Amino acid sequence: MSGSKLIQVLLPLRLEWEPFYSYSEDSMPSPLLEGDRVRVEFAGKEYVGTVTVPDASADAAGIGLERIKPIAGLAEGLDRISHEEISLWRQVAEYYLCTPGEVYKAAYPAGKVEEEGVKSRIRERLQQRIAKLDEKIAKSRREETRARYVAEREELMRQVAGPSTPLRDQKEEILRSAQNDRTGTSAGSGRDGIELSPAQEEAYSKIKEVLKAGKPALLRGVTGSGKTEIYLKLAAETLAGGKNVLYMVPEIALSRQLEERIRNHFPNELQVFHSGMTVAKRAESAAFIKTSPYIALGTRSSLFLPHRNIGLIIVDEENDPSYKQDNPAPRYNGRETAIMLAGIHGADIILGSATPSLESLYNCQVGRFGLIDLTARYFHASDSDVEIIDTIAERKKNGMIGSFSRKLIDRIRECLAKGGQVAILRERRSYSPMLQCEGCGHIPKCSRCDVALSLHLREDGQGRLVCHYCGKVYEYTGRCPECGGELKPLGAGTQKIEEEAASLFPEARIARLDSDSARSGKHESEIIKGFEAGEIDILVGTRIVAKGFDFSGLSLVAVLRSDSLLAQQDYRADERALHLLEQFRGRCGRRAEKGLFVVQTSQPDHPVYKSLTGVQDATMVTDRLLKERKLFGYPPYSRVINTILRDRNIQRIELMGRSLSTLLAGTLGRGAKVIGPYSPAVDKTAGENIRIIRVMLPKDKNLRSSKAALQETAERFARERKYSGHISLDVDPV
Ligand code: ADP
Ligand code: ZN
From 261, 378, 585, mutation site for ligand 1 pocket: most ligand atoms within 8 A of C-beta: 378
Q: Which fold has domain 638-731?
A: Alpha-Beta Plaits (3.30.70)
Residue nearest to atom 18 of ligand 1 (CA): 226
Indicate if ligand 1 lies below 6 Å from the C-beta of 192.
no
Ligand with smallest separation from the Cα of 590: 1
Indicate if ligand 1 lies below 6 Å from the C-beta of 200.
yes
Distance of CA 228 to the CA centre of its chain: 20
Cα–Cα distance measured from residue 557 to residue 537, given in angstroms and rounded to the nearest whole number: 12
Please compute the mean of the pLDDT values over residues 725-730 and round it to a whole number.
95
Please compute the mean of the pLDDT values over residues 326-333 and round it to a whole number.
93
Ligand with smallest separation from the Cα of 264: 1
Paired sense of beta strands 385-390 and 596-601, if any? parallel
C-alpha of residue 449 to centroid of ligand 2, in Å: 4
The amino acid at residue 97 is L
Q: Tell me which DSSP letter residue 486 carries.
A: B
Indicate if ligand 1 lies below 6 Å from the C-beta of 611.
no
Indicate if the pLDDT at residue 518 is higher than 80.
no
How does DSSP assign 169-226, residue by residue? HHHHHHHHHHHHHHTTSPTT--SS-----HHHHHHHHHHHHHHHTT--EEEEE-TTS-
The ligand 1 atom nearest the CA atom of 221: 3
The ligand 1 atom nearest the CA atom of 261: 16
Report pLDDT for 222: 85
- Give residue-wise pLDDT tens across range 661-716: 999 999 998 889 999 899 887 888 888 999 999 999 998 888 999 999 999 999 99
Residue 234's pLDDT band, with cuts at 50, 70 and 90, is very high
Residue 118's pLDDT band, with cuts at 50, 70 and 90, is low
Q: Round the average pLDDT of the chain to a whole number and report it.
A: 87
Three-state DSSP state, 189: coil
The ligand 1 atom nearest the CA atom of 195: 23
Residue 185's pLDDT band, with cuts at 50, 70 and 90, is very low
Indicate if ligand 1 lies below 6 Å from the C-beta of 195.
yes
Indicate if the pLDDT at residue 734 is higher than 90.
no
Residue nearest to atom 6 of ligand 1 (CA): 226
- Of 565, 544, 428, the closest CA to residue 494 belongs to 428
Indicate if ligand 1 lies below 6 Å from the C-beta of 226.
yes
Cα–Cα distance measured from residue 446 to residue 469, given in angstroms and rounded to the nearest whole number: 9
Inter-residue contact 605 to 663 (CB < 8 Å): no
Least confident range from 370-384, 515-529, 530-544: namely 515-529
Ligand with smallest separation from the Cα of 448: 2
Cα–Cα distance measured from residue 109 to residue 86, given in angstroms and rounded to the nearest whole number: 15
Ramachandran bin of 728, using left for φ above 0, alpha for ψ from -120 to 50, beta for the remaining angles? beta
Residue nearest to atom 21 of ligand 1 (CA): 226
C-alpha of residue 529 to centroid of ligand 1, in Å: 20
The ligand 1 atom nearest the CA atom of 229: 6
Residue nearest to atom 20 of ligand 1 (CA): 226
Angle value at C-alpha 234, between 228 and 236, nearest 5 degrees: 100
More confident: 548 or 661? 661
Report pLDDT for 569: 66
The values of phi and psi at residue 619, to 5°, are -65, -40
Ligand with smallest separation from the Cα of 221: 1
The ligand 1 atom nearest the CA atom of 200: 23
C-alpha of residue 29 to centroid of ligand 2, in Å: 54
- Of 335, 341, 372, the closest CA to residue 357 belongs to 335
Cα–Cα distance measured from residue 516 to residue 203, given in angstroms and rounded to the nearest whole number: 41
Q: Tell me which DSSP letter residue 29 carries.
A: S
The ligand 1 atom nearest the CA atom of 197: 23
Residue 381's pLDDT band, with cuts at 50, 70 and 90, is low
Indicate if the pLDDT at residue 182 is higher than 50.
no
CB-based neighbours (< 5 A) of ligand 2, an ion? 446, 448-449, 467, 469-470, 472
Indicate if ligand 1 lies below 6 Å from the C-beta of 309.
no
- Give residue-wise pLDDT tens across range 420-430: 999 999 988 89
* CATH class of domain segment(s) 385-429+494-627: alpha beta
Inter-residue contact 644 to 690 (CB < 8 Å): yes
Please compute the mean of the pLDDT values over residues 166-192 and round it to a whole number.
42
- Give residue-wise pLDDT tens across range 458-493: 878 789 999 887 788 999 999 998 999 999 998 899
Same fold, 191-374 and 638-731: no
Residue 527's pLDDT band, with cuts at 50, 70 and 90, is confident
Residue nearest to atom 19 of ligand 1 (CA): 226
The ligand 1 atom nearest the CA atom of 225: 3
Evaluate the CA torsion angle 26, 28, 33, 39 in order and state its sign. negative
The values of phi and psi at residue 359, to 5°, are -60, -45
Inter-residue contact 549 to 588 (CB < 8 Å): no
Please tell me the CATH code under which domain 4-108 is placed: 3.40.1440.60
What predicted TM-score, i.e. pTM, was given to this entire model? Answer: 0.82
Indicate if ligand 1 lies below 6 Å from the C-beta of 221.
yes
Cα–Cα distance measured from residue 678 to residue 695, given in angstroms and rounded to the nearest whole number: 12
Ligand with smallest separation from the Cα of 195: 1
Report pLDDT for 141: 78
C-alpha of residue 578 to centroid of ligand 2, in Å: 30
Question: Which residues, in sequence order, are CB contacts of 324 under 8 Å at separation 6+?
Answer: 331, 332, 333, 334, 732, 733, 734
The ligand 1 atom nearest the CA atom of 374: 3
What count of other Cβ atoms lies within 10 Å of the Cβ of residue 75?
A: 21
C-alpha of residue 268 to centroid of ligand 1, in Å: 22
Indicate if ligand 1 lies below 6 Å from the C-beta of 583.
no
Inter-residue contact 282 to 233 (CB < 8 Å): no
Architecture of domain 191-374: 3-Layer(aba) Sandwich (3.40)
Please compute the mean of the pLDDT values over residues 589-610 and round it to a whole number.
84
Domain residue ranges of the chain, discontinuous segments joined by +: 4-108, 191-374, 385-429+494-627, 432-491, 638-731
Inter-residue contact 295 to 331 (CB < 8 Å): no
